[in-house]
C-alpha cells in the first residue's frame, strides 16, 4: 500500500473514531436542541397551508431544514474544527508526518459527514411524526434527497476549511461563518416560501447554496403540486445542480492552495502564541 492510500485509510479511521467520541460528549446537546427547535417550528406550522401548493407550511419546511442543515454543518463544522486544531497543535503535528495533511483532511471530511447525518436524523425523526414527507416520496425521492444532500455538502465543505484556515481563533471562525449563514438562511425560503421575500432578496438568496439545497430537498420529497410555492412555479433541478456545482468546484480548486499556504506558515512559536491567547480567554 502506497503512503497516500495509507494516509487516506488512517484518515477515514480517525474520522470514524472522532465521530464515535463526539456521540458520547456534551456536543450532542446541540443536536437535541436542534431537534426540539425543529419540532417546535413544525408544530406551529402544521395547520398553516400554502396557497396554491396543496400542502401545509410544515410540509415545505421539513425538507428545507434537511437541505439547510447539511449546508450549514458543512461550512460551520470544518471551520471551527480546523481553527481549533491550529490552536492546539494538531495541524503542526500532521504537517510533520508524511502525507499527514491528507490524512487530517480526510478525517475532518469523514467526521463532518457523519456529524451532519446524525444532525439530520435528529431533525427528521421527530419531524416525521408531524409531517410524513417520506410516505409519498418513494425510493426515487429518498435517493434524490441523498444526492441533493451530498451535493450540498460538497458545495460548502471546502469553504469551511478555507474559513478555518484564515482565522486565528475558533471564535473568529464562528464569526465569519455562523453569523453570515444565519442571515442567508433568513432570506432563503427555509421556514416560509421565498416568494414572500422582496425581489432583490430573492436574487441574493439564489446566489448561495442554502436556497438551492432546500429547493432540491423539497423537489425530491414533495409532490409536483408543491412547486407552486417556488419561484417560477416549477422545480428547477438543472439550476440547482449548476449553482451547487459551481460552489463545489470553485471551493475545491481554491481550498487546497489556501490550506497548503496555511500549513507552510505553521510553526511551533505561532502555535504557542495561540495557545497562550486561548489560556488568557479561559481565565
What residues does each domain of the chain span?
3-269
Return mean pLDDT, the chain. 84
Give the C-alpha separation, 171 to 176, whole Å: 9
pLDDT at 270: 58
pTM of the model as a whole: 0.86
Residue 278 has pLDDT above 60, yes or no: no
SS3 at position 56: strand
Give the C-alpha separation, 247 to 183, whole Å: 18
pLDDT tens-digit readout, 101-110 = 788 888 888 8
Closest to 214 in 3D by CA, of 89, 62, 85: 62
**Are 193 and 58 in contact, with CB atoms under 8 Å apart?**
no
pLDDT at 51: 74
pLDDT tens-digit readout, 30-48 = 777 878 888 888 888 887 8
Q: For residue 194, what is the DSSP state? A: G
The whole-number average pLDDT for the span 205-220 is 94
C-alpha dihedral sign at 189, 194, 198, 200 = positive
Which run of H or of E encompasses 132?
none
pLDDT at 269: 61
Give the C-alpha separation, 235 to 218, whole Å: 9
**Are 165 and 258 in contact, with CB atoms under 8 Å apart?**
yes
Residue 279 has pLDDT above 60, yes or no: no
Strand residue runs (E) in 28-126: none
Q: For residue 50, what is the DSSP state? A: P
| Least confident stretch, 50-59, 72-81, 193-202, 209-218 | 50-59
Copy the grid coordinates of residue 229: 410555492
Amino acid at each position: 500500500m502506497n503512503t497516500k492510500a495509507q494516509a487516506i485509510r488512517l484518515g477515514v479511521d480517525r474520522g470514524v473514531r472522532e465521530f464515535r467520541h463526539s456521540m458520547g460528549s456534551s456536543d450532542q446537546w446541540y443536536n437535541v436542541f436542534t431537534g426540539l427547535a425543529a419540532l417546535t417550528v413544525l408544530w406551529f406550522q402544521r395547520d398553516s397551508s400554502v396557497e396554491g401548493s396543496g400542502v401545509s407550511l410544515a410540509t415545505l419546511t421539513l425538507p428545507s431544514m434537511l437541505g439547510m442543515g447539511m449546508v450549514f454543518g458543512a461550512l460551520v463544522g470544518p471551520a471551527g474544527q480546523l481553527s481549533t486544531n491550529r490552536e492546539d497543535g494538531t495541524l503542526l503535528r500532521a504537517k510533520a508526518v508524511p502525507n499527514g495533511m491528507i490524512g487530517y483532511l480526510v478525517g475532518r471530511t469523514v467526521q463532518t459527514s457523519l456529524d451532519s447525518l446524525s444532525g439530520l436524523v435528529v431533525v427528521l425523526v421527530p419531524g416525521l411524526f408531524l409531517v410524513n414527507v417520506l410516505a409519498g416520496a418513494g425510493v426515487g425521492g429518498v435517493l434524490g434527497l441523498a444526492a441533493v444532500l451530498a451535493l450540498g455538502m460538497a458545495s460548502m465543505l471546502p469553504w469551511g476549511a478555507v474559513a478555518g484556515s484564515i482565522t486565528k481563533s475558533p471564535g473568529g471562525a464562528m464569526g465569519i461563518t455562523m453569523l453570515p449563514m444565519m442571515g442567508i438562511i433568513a432570506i432563503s425560503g427555509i421556514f416560509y416560501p421565498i416568494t414572500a421575500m422582496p425581489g432583490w432578496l430573492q436574487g441574493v438568496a439564489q446566489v448561495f447554496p442554502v436556497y438551492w439545497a432546500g429547493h432540491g430537498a423539497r423537489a425530491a420529497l414533495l409532490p409536483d403540486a408543491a412547486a407552486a410555492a417556488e419561484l417560477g412555479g416549477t422545480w428547477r433541478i438543472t439550476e440547482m445542480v449548476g449553482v451547487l456545482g459551481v460552489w463545489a468546484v470553485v471551493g475545491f480548486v481554491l481550498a487546497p492552495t489556501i490550506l497548503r499556504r496555511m500549513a507552510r506558515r505553521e510553526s511551533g512559536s505561532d502555535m504557542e502564541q495561540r495557545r497562550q491567547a486561548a489560556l488568557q480567554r479561559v481565565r
